[in-house]
Structure 1
Amino acid sequence: MSPQSAVTEEPFRKLALAVGFLAVAVSAFLAHGAPATGYELSIYTMTPGRVWAGLLVAMAIALAIAFIPPSWVGGGKRTGTGSASQTDARLFTSRPLALVLGGLTMVVFAALPLIRGYRFFGNHDALTHLGWARALAEGTIVPFDLYYPGIHTMTAMLNAAVGIPLEQSLLLAILATMIVFWVFIPLCVGVIVSDRRAVVIAAFSSFLLLPITTISMYMTAHAMSQAVLFSALLFFLFAKYLRADRSLATVSAVGGAFALVSVATVVYHPQLIAHLIVVFLGISLVQFLARRIASQGRIASQTPMYGQALFLVVLFLGWTSNHGFFSGMIDYFLSAAIDFVFGDGGGAGDTVAMQGASLGALGSGLGEIFLKLFTVHLLFTLLAAGLILAALGARNSEWLARVRPETLYFAVALVGLGPLFGIYFLAPGSTMYFRVFGLMMVFVTLLGALAIYGLSGSSRLSGGWRESRFVPAGQPLLAVGFALLLLLSLVAVFPSPYTYNPSPHVSDQQMSGYETAFDMQDDEVEIVGLRNGPNRFDDAIHGNEERMRLHFDVPESAFGSGLVDEYDDDRYLVVSQYDYDREVYAYGELRHSDGDFNALENEPGVNRIHTNGEFDRYYIDASMGDA
């Protein structure tokens, strides 16, 4: 097929793209037209099927257009007459639009809580972050009162500038960090290999959202999660900095941007900067050794990171000195080590065992949950490991020589983060090792995208996609492969019963119920609830500078029977639809059964004094326990 005949396919591709953009728009419109009327246990099942169908169509079109260019003889060999550059320009104008379509599809997917009118999306830490954003907006605290005021400051600014409620402003701030990740991961890979096909692969790799695990890394307000996603911008500037002209002006421009983004990153979360110090000190060591061992190599010719690594150290020490964060981390690591050595703490091993036992009681197991959560992570980790081994062992591959410096840098980053992962893993009762894991997945995403690019045959300097009788030009198998990976990954990024978790949806009824409960509370009567719920909602509503820890949980053995015998003084008991659906459906009545909730209505001395359909407040008359 001649270039001219290939160009004739462009109108059909443009029509397909138009259909894709229309599908995204219609999906967003349908989702907005089906707002949540109450608590939803799963955003996947409660979002109308037509919305998912539209998003699937849009992503399928984006994948097809991105990975299957118009066919022509030799997978890019030009025949016939005409300008080759004009032909290339026509053939590849649709590919950037395909990336935009894929990105918009992901934006609509991630923004579904906003589009469907959720009051808020996030529990536990997210509610505390909402309260801090509220305190910033009301002026009761200032940003420097917080360890990591990044998302809270952005939320308050959006609230003031746009005038939307704080809850929606915070969800927009979260979405912004995801967009940063989706934009700068492919741009970082594009800097490393300077090939648009690598950018395409990296873009769809970023859509997998590998740093999000729903275990200590979330799609809700969680400072470390947003900081890790935001770090994609820092790694893009890192790649640019390595290749910057060594003249003072250029180095100052890129280096200045790097330093500025470093400041923004520490504002998002100083713990991430502590981890990045390990990464960049390791990279600096590699560069130092390369200048002495292989002074004519590619690494030696790149701009050294010494100054930027030193700046990160100074920045971290300067920021944390005002908050005691550094000393707190040292105390945490030392106590974790002592507990491990003397056997006082169970560490992650006992936590995993307990979770395994709980999953076993639900008829599941660690193997099933691992496959649901980490299949794609495992595949990309294997790809990254393969690329690292190939880059270290190959000596005659021009493409591997081009990517060897960054491959080695990212490998050093993974090795350096390993001990931190281990320390957190050994800490009793901690799941913070998944924070390190989330950061490691940023490097795995970059390395995995580079590995797929190399395996696809796009690395040939002559250009064009490798072609054989089994793998036709354009690598349509990549489109199919990414389609499967996206389904496997994205079905687990929102908590749902699929992963034995409830959705962290906060409904209007739940929020207003807690607001009423706090407003009408007798100061002498304490509030109790299930799984620390009252404390977090107290934070969200009142904007407490310090996390509220005055409300308590109902003992598991007393809930449903014996509440009046449990307390010497009167109590308020608050129970929401979220509590019921979480315990009965998501957790399969592991702790509390449907009968326990129903028993509240008939237990002597426990009287319901307020309800709005999804939130009930009971008064526990402790004096009835003596009757």
Structure 2
Amino acid sequence: MRRTESNVAFALGFFALALGLLVARANPATSYEASVYSATPTAVWAFFGLALAISVVAALACRGRSQTLGMALGGTTVTSIVGLPAIRNYRFSGMGDALTHLGWTRDIVDGQLAPLELIYPGVHTLGTALHFLAGIPIERALLLTVVVLFIPFVIFVPLTVRDITGNPAAVGVAAIVSWMVLPINNVATHMGVHTNSNALFLVPVVVFALVAYLRRRSTIERLPFGVSPFSLLIYLSGIALLLVHPQQMINVVVLVGAIACIQFLARWRFDDHPVVKQPTTYAHTVVLGALFAIWTVSNERFRTAAVGLLEGMVTADVGAGAEVDQRGSSLTEIGGSLGELFVAMFLDAAVIAVIVGLFVLATWLGLTRLDREASTFVTYFALALVPLGGIFLIYFVGTPTMAFRQVGFIFVILTILAGIAVAHLVGGASRVITRSGATTVASVALGALLVLGLMTVYASPIIYNPGQHVTDQQFSGYESALEHGAEDYPHAGLGYDPFRYDHGLNGLEGEETLSGATVATGEADPDALETGNYTGAYHGFDYYLIVTDYDVTREIDVYQELHYSAESLEGLDSEPTVNKVISNDEFEMYAIASDEEDADE
């Protein structure tokens, strides 16, 4: 591509990106949105699609300045997609852990909680800083924090691959694969205020520092006491990762430790090998491991989680098999299937994993054209997946949700390896067909996988999981309910315990737990509601039943009345023991008494 043509293409791409952002900003969310994809104007997706198409072609076909511009365009576009809740003026996003993290941030802002009292204060501290520096609401500050922490991922994945191979084709492919956001699986890792998931996007920074340390053997670049600046970068980025979430830090310790073991064995076995010439990671393993141990072992929440994992491993009904069977049965009842869900959520990740696996095997068999040092890094990361996979198996037996968090980390490593693997696949194809033909095929294939990956960055009905958009009306309804409700009335939700809103609105007052609340809360019994037994739907107590647009969308539209029916909800308005006490466009709360006399009082 000539300079003039490339300049015109990039001008068009960045103009399309700017138009997409302007249209998205001009069309803010006005009510609850089950899918940020369908609610965002089609023109936005057309503009973003054009920008991504130009960036994919440039990342693969161009070199030098043009390739850099292409990667910048693609990375900015994907970051804009990640930032859509903030761009389209969502009040907040996330109804689970996110609301609790909002509560902790509110406690820090109000001076009721010191950041270091939390085991992972990174997100909350950054959100607090944005709140004070920019003068924006806490909810918006946290949405922007998600974007800020995502940016290192799209920058440092291609930088790491460049340091490993120096191959521009691999760098371009790595950038494109990073745009697929494979670490997010919407099972246990989510795009939102979710510290474990947010930490995944910092992992490439640590890996880049590690690769840079191993690649640079010069003794000239030294800090006082002979410390390598790249060693210092490893420690500083490791500390940042630890503060965002320790679970991903321990994965980094395992990764660095695996490399240290390989180096030890190589020094024992070989006299002339790139591993022997590289500086060792023994000290880094010890220091990072010590930082993790000092920070976590004394923390009560960490000890509780460890005990829960051990209990899960020895309890027959906690394992993943029963959970998968249960969810598969539920999907069948509403017309879906695990196979369909797998294609929507994991096909892109599965294709990348297979390509990487075959490439690693080919590298070990000597069938690739990688130089010895680049092959060494492939071996490092591939063998590190063995202990990382072992941790996944432990989680899978004990706490399946944690297993999918581990999958998120594994796909950070696979994303890096994919840049090298796919580039070699394209290079091999160019020897069979023309280079332009191989690049065209790769552009189409990677573009298709990119679309599939971006379709599931956020939850939506396409994966039977409506978006967790929290609106002003929902916050207002819960605030009124929690502030003005009778103290002896618990609050019950439809398949959803509303205690998280108590966290988000009132904070946790320094209580480091994801389950405590200042009011009694729970879930209404679906079987009782279906039979019209509204008074018996919450242990026979007088209680408040909360129904939001999110609940109706999830239970009626997405789950197709699997647990709660529209008829049972409509019956609330004609039941003598039920009084509607709060109502707005997206929130309704009913006071349900155990008998008619109580209802009339």
Residue identity in the other structure for 2:427: G
- Partners of 1:223 and 1:625 lie apart in 2 by 48
- Partners of 2:541 and 2:306 lie apart in 1 by 41
Cα gap change, 1:358/1:498 in structure 2, threshold over 3 Å: closer, same or farther? Answer: same
Say whether 1:435 aligns with 2:405: yes
Q: TM-score, normalised by structure 1?
A: 0.90
Does structure 2 conserve the Cα–Cα contact (< 8 Å) formed by 1:224 and 1:268?
A: yes
User: Structure 1 vs Structure 2: percent identity of aligned residues?
Assistant: 34
Does structure 2 conserve the Cα–Cα contact (< 8 Å) formed by 1:532 and 1:551?
A: no
Say whether 1:208 aligns with 2:180: yes
Q: CA deviation at 1:228?
A: 1.3
Match of 2:443 in 1: 479
Does structure 1 conserve the Cα–Cα contact (< 8 Å) formed by 2:108 and 2:114?
A: yes
Say whether 1:514 aligns with 2:478: yes
Say whether 1:54 aligns with 2:47: yes
Encode CA deviations 1:333-374: one digit per residue, 9 max, x unaligned: 4323322xxx3x241000000010011011111111111111
Q: CA deviation at 1:556?
A: 1.2
Match of 2:380 in 1: 409
Say whether 1:500 aligns with 2:464: yes
Q: CA deviation at 1:474?
A: 7.4
Provide the secondary structure at the position in 1 that maps to 2:498: helix
Say whether 1:593 aligns with 2:565: yes
Provide the secondary structure at the position in 1 that maps to 2:535: helix
Q: CA deviation at 1:555?
A: 0.9
Q: How does 1:567-606 map to 2 (within 5 A)?
A: 567-606=539-578
- Partners of 1:296 and 1:198 lie apart in 2 by 27
Q: CA deviation at 1:398?
A: 4.8
Q: CA deviation at 1:197?
A: 2.5
Aligned CA-pair RMSD: 1.9
Say whether 1:363 aligns with 2:356: no
Does structure 2 conserve the Cα–Cα contact (< 8 Å) formed by 1:394 and 1:400?
A: no
Encode CA deviations 1:458-495: one digit per residue, 9 max, x unaligned: 9xxxxxx9465454277122221221111111111211
Residue identity in the other structure for 1:436: Q
Does structure 1 conserve the Cα–Cα contact (< 8 Å) formed by 2:29 and 2:89?
A: yes
- Partners of 2:44 and 2:418 lie apart in 1 by 30
Unpaired runs of at least 5, structure 1: 1-5, 70-90, 459-464
Residue identity in the other structure for 1:337: M
Q: How does 1:179-190 map to 2 (within 5 A)?
A: 179-190=151-162
Does structure 1 conserve the Cα–Cα contact (< 8 Å) formed by 2:334 and 2:562?
A: yes
Q: CA deviation at 1:456?
A: 2.1
Residue of 280, 289, 292 corresponding to 1:304: 280
Does structure 1 conserve the Cα–Cα contact (< 8 Å) formed by 2:312 and 2:318?
A: no
Encode CA deviations 1:435-454: one digit per residue, 9 max, x unaligned: 00000001111111110112
Does structure 2 conserve the Cα–Cα contact (< 8 Å) formed by 1:336 and 1:423?
A: no
Say whether 1:265 aligns with 2:246: no
Match of 1:446 in 2: 416
Provide the secondary structure at the position in 2 that maps to 1:494: coil
Match of 1:79 in 2: none
Q: How does 1:200-239 map to 2 (within 5 A)?
A: 200-239=172-211
- Partners of 1:565 and 1:315 lie apart in 2 by 51
Does structure 2 conserve the Cα–Cα contact (< 8 Å) formed by 1:217 and 1:224?
A: yes
Q: CA deviation at 1:326?
A: 5.0
Encode CA deviations 1:208-261: one digit per residue, 9 max, x unaligned: 100000010000111110111111111111110111225274352110111111
Question: 42-51 or 569-578: which moved more?
Answer: 569-578
- Partners of 1:241 and 1:622 lie apart in 2 by 68
Cα gap change, 1:625/1:188 in structure 2, threshold over 3 Å: closer, same or farther? Answer: farther
Match of 2:296 in 1: 320
- Partners of 2:20 and 2:88 lie apart in 1 by 11
Does structure 2 conserve the Cα–Cα contact (< 8 Å) formed by 1:583 and 1:589?
A: yes
Cα gap change, 1:304/1:248 in structure 2, threshold over 3 Å: closer, same or farther? Answer: farther
Does structure 2 conserve the Cα–Cα contact (< 8 Å) formed by 1:467 and 1:473?
A: no
- Partners of 2:439 and 2:427 lie apart in 1 by 9
Provide the secondary structure at the position in 2 that maps to 1:377: helix
Does structure 2 conserve the Cα–Cα contact (< 8 Å) formed by 1:390 and 1:400?
A: no
Cα gap change, 1:584/1:240 in structure 2, threshold over 3 Å: closer, same or farther? Answer: same
Does structure 2 conserve the Cα–Cα contact (< 8 Å) formed by 1:131 and 1:539?
A: yes
Provide the secondary structure at the position in 1 that maps to 2:529: coil
Does structure 2 conserve the Cα–Cα contact (< 8 Å) formed by 1:528 and 1:574?
A: yes
- Partners of 1:164 and 1:295 lie apart in 2 by 60
Q: CA deviation at 1:295?
A: 2.5
Residue identity in the other structure for 1:314: A
Residue identity in the other structure for 2:51: A
Q: CA deviation at 1:298?
A: 0.8
Residue identity in the other structure for 2:376: P
Residue of 422, 425, 428 corresponding to 2:393: 422
Say whether 1:388 aligns with 2:360: yes
Provide the secondary structure at the position in 2 that maps to 1:540: helix
Question: 556-565 or 611-620: which moved more?
Answer: 556-565
Cα gap change, 1:289/1:603 in structure 2, threshold over 3 Å: closer, same or farther? Answer: same
Residue identity in the other structure for 1:286: I
Match of 2:61 in 1: 68
Does structure 1 conserve the Cα–Cα contact (< 8 Å) formed by 2:460 and 2:467?
A: yes
- Partners of 1:10 and 1:609 lie apart in 2 by 67
What is the aligned residue count?
587
Question: 351-360 or 272-281: which moved more?
Answer: 272-281
Question: 471-480 or 52-61: which moved more?
Answer: 471-480
Q: CA deviation at 1:142?
A: 0.7
